[in-house]
Amino acid sequence: MANPTPNIQIISDGPATTILKLTGNANTADFTSATLVDPAARSSVDPTGSNYLKAGWYRIDKIIHNIEDGIVVNLIWDDSSGTTVIEQLAGRGKADYRHIGGLQNPKNTGWTGKINWSTSTESGTWTSSGYSFSVILELTKGWTP
């Protein structure tokens, strides 16, 4: 049996910010890297609603997570390497990065502005109930005119 489909809910998508929630349950295998949020698919950063200024990247301002023991949720900047890890989230916690200007995309070779996610089990053992996880991200949009 395959893992149930994870849910990505856009809680708020304004001219300058996006808040989203990722929830899921991994019960047969790790989730491989997939797009969590694509700035080009979100609303314009122009408050007039013009499509002239679309976001090109995000800065992560806050992360709130509740992850069942035994699994890690990986947040990854999308680039050619596919391995630019932002955070490896485990357990429960919250972090506010605004005081350091947020977590910035390093814009490595082949960067797209997307934020990807995946999971990895700590033990490699699966249970019938699986491992549940919930992650909330507060993001600020960045753009180049």
In this structure, what token pair is assigned to residue 96? 């506010």
pLDDT digits (tens, 9 = 90+) for 34-58: 999 998 787 665 666 666 667 889 9
* Sign, CA torsion 33/58/86/4: negative
Note whether residue 86 is domain-resident: yes
CATH number of the CATH domain containing 64: 2.60.120
Q: Identify the domain containing residue 131 by its residue range.
A: 7-142
Note whether residue 91 is domain-resident: yes
Count of structural domains within the chain: 1
pLDDT band at 145 (very low <50, low <70, confident <90, very high): low
Q: Where are the beta strands (DSSP E) in the chain?
A: 7-13, 17-26, 34-37, 57-67, 71-77, 84-89, 92-96, 115-121, 131-142
Q: Residue 44's pLDDT is what?
A: 64
**CA-based nearest residue to 6, from 133, 139, 123:** 133
Note whether residue 114 is domain-resident: yes
Note whether residue 1 is domain-resident: no
pLDDT band at 73 (very low <50, low <70, confident <90, very high): very high
- Average pLDDT over the chain, rounded to an integer: 88
Note whether residue 2 is domain-resident: no
